[in-house]
Structure 1
Amino acid sequence: MMLALAAGLAPCAEGRARAAPHAAPGSLQLPDGFRDSLIVGGLAQPVGMAFLPDGRLLVVEQKTARIRLVDGHAVTATLLTVPQVRTTGHEQGLLGIAVDPDWPARPFVYVHCDDAVSATLRITRYDVTGDLAGVGDRLLAIDPTSRRDILTGVPDAQSNHNGGTLRFGTDGMLYASFGEDAVECAAQDTTTLRGVIVRLDVSGVPPGGGPAPSLAAITPADNPLAGHADPRARLIWAWGLRNPFRFQVDAADGALFVADVGQETYEELNLLAGGGANCGWPRFEGFADWNLGCALAGPHVPPIHAYDRTFIPGASVIAAAIYRGPPCVPEDTCGFGPDYEGDAFYSDYGGGFLRRLERSGAAWAPAAPVPGQPSAEDWGRGFEAVSDFALAADGSLWLCRQAVAFAPSSGEIRAIVREGGGSGPIPAPEVSFAAPRPTPAAGAVSFDVVLARPGRVRLEIFDLRGARVATVWEDDLAAGARTLVWDGRVGDGRRARAGVYVARLAALGRVLARRVVRVP
């Protein structure tokens, strides 16, 4: 039995497929100094995942439509079987999940799925209850009656080219990808929601179940087509995509790193620093001409990279990460290390490789090999059937594999760490220190801190030279959740300059750090 995505994400060129050497099933080949560890196995075709601020992980299974809670090395609960999910097509099912950025104040999860009642795709939100801060029994629950559809009616007449990613950007907006539903020229029609990435403002949608909001209610005023006559076009952030199954958000600047699955010759990777990009499908595939009969709806923004898929069975590009390690001093002691900062990692679902791109000015190119790479091109091998990636707070790179050697219920979550630079699975913490909000920020910045027991807390802000510029808090805190606020000013009362800072929290014998980006 073929896996759903292996069979359907993208057709490979007929008659020319040639298998490349791969790692043994379930194992990864990585450069010297890197290792991978199993977080949890025995999952039924897991396809997407999202971290909670305290390190717990939510995983969605494509065909069972279940949302699973992973804590440490165990699946501790099945939170929900999402109702009315169509799973009949190879690529259909429950495809993506995102956690509200204001968790736990807004304890919502959002899912991307094919609808079983109509030939459409939808985005649906649910309310989560239980130990939201992760300081008690760490269990959660989802009330099925809290369902509220956020976006409905996205065309899904075909079983393939569904997109499938949900991510919140650094701006707090919800981004979602949709394929062109196997209707090529529709990717150049901004009124159909085919072959697009949409950007939604869900902050005003009330808690609990109820009807879907109007399109106007979830349309950000600064979307690139906000003045368009059609309300669907006003939701769009980028268009001209074939099947953008997986994209990632660069935590440093909010750019979208988009992998667009190709048709015949090229897989491509796009980096969208802002809205309004026309990625060119079907007029172009990669950098090459494809369908000259489809007129471009706006100037073409070419990809940053494309590779030949001709000899890769089941080729389907997956965006893994724009790598951003945790801030630490000295900087080489955590994450992948400074040599990897800002690099773009991508894999191929069928090809089984993980590759790395480096930026040089405005251009991107394959990174120079490092010792122990399995080949000059491949930073890693053994990534067959990997459908999603996520960066953990400690700088480790987690991956979601749908199955090992196509065996049933062999899906797994694994973590890649550098020896001495990442801890792999995150234990239940005594101290939780969420990412700052908003980010980037021009004014005040809030930090959500959760303590398992009372203790002395010190929160300080440092510049990248290691000089302390502000002390936000230095006093005792009770157990539980507390929000600490930096007003954006340095010690002498002046506003901090634009740039990158490090917020360092010392509490209960632990020191945690978060990156803070300030803009003018």
Structure 2
Amino acid sequence: MRFLLPLALCCVSVTAAAAEPPAASAADLALLQQYAMTHAGDAARGKQLFDQEQVTRCLACHVVGDKGGQVGPDLSKIGGKFDRIHLIESLLQPSAQIVQGYETNTVLTADGQVLSGVIGKESQQEIELCDSTGKCWTIARADIESIKPSQQSTMPDNLATGLDPTQFTDLIAYLETLRTGVGKQPGSATRGPVSLPQGYQIETLVTGLSGATALEVLDDGRILVCEQQGDLRVIKDGKLLEQPMLSLDVELYWERGLIGVTVHPDFPATNWLYVCYVAQQPYTHHRISRFRVQGDVALPSSEQILLRGDDQSKLGGNVPAGHQGGALHFGPDGKLYIGIGEQTAKTPAQNLGTFQGKILRLGDDGTIPPDNPFVGKAQGKYQAIWALGCRNPFTFAIDQATGRMLINDVGGKFEEINPGVAGANYGWPTIDHGPTEQAEFVGPIHVYPEASISGGDFAPVTAGPILAGRYVFADFVHGWIHSIDPENGGSADDFVSGLRRPVDLRFAADGALYVLLRNAWIVDDKFQTDSGSLIRIQRTPTAK
């Protein structure tokens, strides 16, 4: 079992005298999810619900501050660890999110009693078993016939049927306030609700992702998600498959790890999967590889290393494990484009003898196209360089219809969206980010003050009139999604706000926008696992 989230609330939304409410239908649960994601709620009223012994009984199980029981995890800081999306799921699908140590156990005693609850204190002589009402039993081990763990939460699945949408949202709003250190890490201060234009809806597809970095939407409906620790996850028919498509041995620190994925333009007929990851041996370097895919699994033995990057220990930087880039996509020319950051070292971005701070271009087999702009100017493998002067081209997108490329370069003074131009020099670090009139540099079509620009993609006509034909991009710190005219740039239009730490986004052919939420900062000793999610934003069925 994969333990997704240390929450598994075991509130019971019934009064002492009331009968247990019936199970909610899928439609009812979807309505509650939509309402709670898109309405603010009243945290003060939510605290009253949480505290009331005869309404939710949350404090019978959970500690908040110095009050509460021990059947469920301590929730004193839960709103800082997990976003609104995870909090909602923990109440609607409690058995999907059980932390290790808080599983329900069924104990059969020698005299025929069957008791269920969470094991609390235990010793070699006895165990303590407590249920969601706060009732506990101390049972001698000598009297136990068997103990069977269950994947069922002590919290009832029908909690939601005892709360109306407003009450449910109030409770979520209160849980969001249970946090400390707000704003100490970029993007951590974002709270719900999610704001959407009229005619669009949002739903959660997957939660519990660890260190999500990038995604790709396949034509057959599958979605691939990179987890930084090296697992490439598969979402199929709306479900996260247990087995990763691929597990790689990566250097996992700060922004290093598995950081980019795409597939061959003719996939699955040509069944190549392409990834960008940071390998540790024989030295820390970017690696672009391709693998054969069979079904939902890539064959590890089929790896072909198309490009080995530079030894990062020789390039410097105040945080060398930062600014890794990693995005890769095919253009309509059939060539593979890759963005590599300058690992905070700045000057390599202007050096044709390193890949750092560059956009690269390769054939689908790793060969260097003879029409690359620096063939004859750079040496050997560095002829793969297609553009230079980037800071951290974390993501980019290519319009397959027009060939237009837009590059999201994470800020100096500004966040930049730059047009992809063969042979371009974007100026970093000779000039800072922002508009430029210097003829030797290609300037951005859109800028905004320093934050952290993340995923971007071109919206298809099926995305609806608000987005069709526009370039859509997200910001990790602000938690919003904006759009611009992809040709002329200029000012941006708001689309969505209230998302905690969006890291990548991609459109499907049907116009659905998939947004990957990382909800974690860099990989360090404070890194939060299992906190990412994948959401889908699309037009409502009645939208015109």
Shorter-chain TM-score category? 0.5 to 0.7
TM-superposed deviation, 1:96 = 0.8
TM-superposed deviation, 1:288 = 5.8
Aligned positions of 1:314-393 closer than 5 A: 315-326=451-462, 335-337=463-465, 339-358=466-485, 363-367=488-492, 378-393=494-509
Superposed CA deviations along residues 283-302 of structure 1, whole A, max 9, x for unmatched, are 2222268xxxxxx9x92000
1:24 corresponding residue in structure 2: 191
Aligned positions of 1:129-148 closer than 5 A: 129-130=294-295, 140-148=296-304
For 1:115, give the aligned amino acid.
A
Superposed CA deviations along residues 54-81 of structure 1, whole A, max 9, x for unmatched, are 1111111012x11111112211242345
Distance 1:422 1:67 in 2: 34
Q: Is 1:70–1:77's contact at 8 Å kept on the other side of the alignment? A: no
Distance 2:542 2:329 in 1: 26
Distance 2:213 2:185 in 1: 26
- One of 237, 246, 269 as aligned partner of 1:72: 237
1:493 corresponding residue in structure 2: none
Is 1:271 the counterpart of 2:419? The answer is yes
For 2:442, give the aligned amino acid.
V
1:304 corresponding residue in structure 2: 445
- One of 419, 430, 435 as aligned partner of 1:283: 430
Aligned positions of 1:36-185 closer than 5 A: 36-63=202-229, 65-87=230-252, 89-117=253-281, 118-130=283-295, 140-157=296-313, 158-185=320-347
Q: Is 2:202–2:538's contact at 8 Å kept on the other side of the alignment? A: yes
For the aligned residue pairs, the C-alpha RMSD in angstroms reads: 2.9
Against the structure 1 CA distance between its residues 103 and 266, is the aligned structure 2 distance closer, same or farther, given a 3 Å change threshold? Answer: same
TM-superposed deviation, 1:240 = 0.4
Number of residues of Structure 1 aligned to a counterpart in Structure 2: 352
Against the structure 1 CA distance between its residues 92 and 172, is the aligned structure 2 distance closer, same or farther, given a 3 Å change threshold? Answer: same
2:535 corresponding residue in structure 1: 414
Distance 2:246 2:220 in 1: 23
For 1:303, give the aligned amino acid.
P
Superposed CA deviations along residues 436-477 of structure 1, whole A, max 9, x for unmatched, are xxxxxxxxxxxxxxxxxxxxxxxxxxxxxxxxxxxxxxxxxx
Aligned positions of 1:463-474 closer than 5 A: none
| Secondary structure of 2:310's aligned partner | strand
Against the structure 1 CA distance between its residues 78 and 119, is the aligned structure 2 distance closer, same or farther, given a 3 Å change threshold? Answer: same
Aligned positions of 1:192-211 closer than 5 A: 192-202=354-364, 205=365
Distance 1:20 1:98 in 2: 27
Against the structure 1 CA distance between its residues 183 and 23, is the aligned structure 2 distance closer, same or farther, given a 3 Å change threshold? Answer: closer
For 2:259, give the aligned amino acid.
L
For 2:228, give the aligned amino acid.
Q
Distance 1:92 1:421 in 2: 43
For 1:142, give the aligned amino acid.
A
Aligned positions of 1:207-286 closer than 5 A: 218-263=367-412, 265-272=413-420, 274-286=421-433
Q: Is 1:23–1:29's contact at 8 Å kept on the other side of the alignment? A: no
Distance 1:421 1:402 in 2: 31
| Secondary structure of 2:408's aligned partner | strand
1:513 corresponding residue in structure 2: none
Distance 1:276 1:105 in 2: 33
- One of 20, 31, 35 as aligned partner of 2:201: 35
Aligned positions of 1:366-515 closer than 5 A: 366-367=491-492, 378-403=494-519, 408-420=529-541
Against the structure 1 CA distance between its residues 422 and 179, is the aligned structure 2 distance closer, same or farther, given a 3 Å change threshold? Answer: farther
Q: Is 1:110–1:123's contact at 8 Å kept on the other side of the alignment? A: yes
Distance 2:520 2:280 in 1: 28
Q: Is 1:100–1:107's contact at 8 Å kept on the other side of the alignment? A: yes
Distance 1:186 1:169 in 2: 26
Report the identity percentage: 31
TM-superposed deviation, 1:22 = 7.1
TM-superposed deviation, 1:178 = 0.4
| Secondary structure of 1:232's aligned partner | helix
User: Which protein is richer in strand relative to its size?
Assistant: 1
TM-superposed deviation, 1:155 = 4.1
- One of 343, 347, 351 as aligned partner of 1:189: 351
Distance 1:23 1:421 in 2: 30
User: Which protein is richer in helix relative to its size?
Assistant: 2
For 1:304, give the aligned amino acid.
I
Against the structure 1 CA distance between its residues 184 and 23, is the aligned structure 2 distance closer, same or farther, given a 3 Å change threshold? Answer: closer
For 1:143, give the aligned amino acid.
L
Distance 1:49 1:56 in 2: 11
Distance 2:311 2:445 in 1: 28
Q: Is 1:257–1:319's contact at 8 Å kept on the other side of the alignment? A: no
| Secondary structure of 2:347's aligned partner | helix
Superposed CA deviations along residues 288-319 of structure 1, whole A, max 9, x for unmatched, are 68xxxxxx9x920001111112xxxxx21124
Mind listing any 5+ residue stretches in structure 2 that lack a counterpart? 1-76, 82-182, 314-319, 522-526
For 2:398, give the aligned amino acid.
V
Against the structure 1 CA distance between its residues 18 and 187, is the aligned structure 2 distance closer, same or farther, given a 3 Å change threshold? Answer: closer
- TM-score normalised to structure 1 length: 0.63
Q: Is 2:191–2:499's contact at 8 Å kept on the other side of the alignment? A: no
Distance 1:283 1:21 in 2: 32
Q: Is 1:247–1:258's contact at 8 Å kept on the other side of the alignment? A: yes
Distance 1:419 1:78 in 2: 32
TM-superposed deviation, 1:182 = 1.9
Against the structure 1 CA distance between its residues 23 and 282, is the aligned structure 2 distance closer, same or farther, given a 3 Å change threshold? Answer: closer
Mind listing any 5+ residue stretches in structure 1 that lack a counterpart? 4-15, 131-139, 206-212, 290-295, 310-314, 327-334, 369-377, 424-520
TM-superposed deviation, 1:402 = 1.2
Against the structure 1 CA distance between its residues 32 and 102, is the aligned structure 2 distance closer, same or farther, given a 3 Å change threshold? Answer: same
Against the structure 1 CA distance between its residues 168 and 343, is the aligned structure 2 distance closer, same or farther, given a 3 Å change threshold? Answer: same
Against the structure 1 CA distance between its residues 171 and 351, is the aligned structure 2 distance closer, same or farther, given a 3 Å change threshold? Answer: same
TM-superposed deviation, 1:277 = 1.1
Q: Is 1:66–1:78's contact at 8 Å kept on the other side of the alignment? A: no
| Secondary structure of 2:427's aligned partner | coil
Distance 2:542 2:415 in 1: 32
2:108 corresponding residue in structure 1: none
Q: Is 1:122–1:154's contact at 8 Å kept on the other side of the alignment? A: no
TM-superposed deviation, 1:23 = 5.9
Q: Is 1:246–1:318's contact at 8 Å kept on the other side of the alignment? A: yes
Query: Which protein has greater RCO, CA pairs closer than 8 Å, 6+ apart?
Result: 1
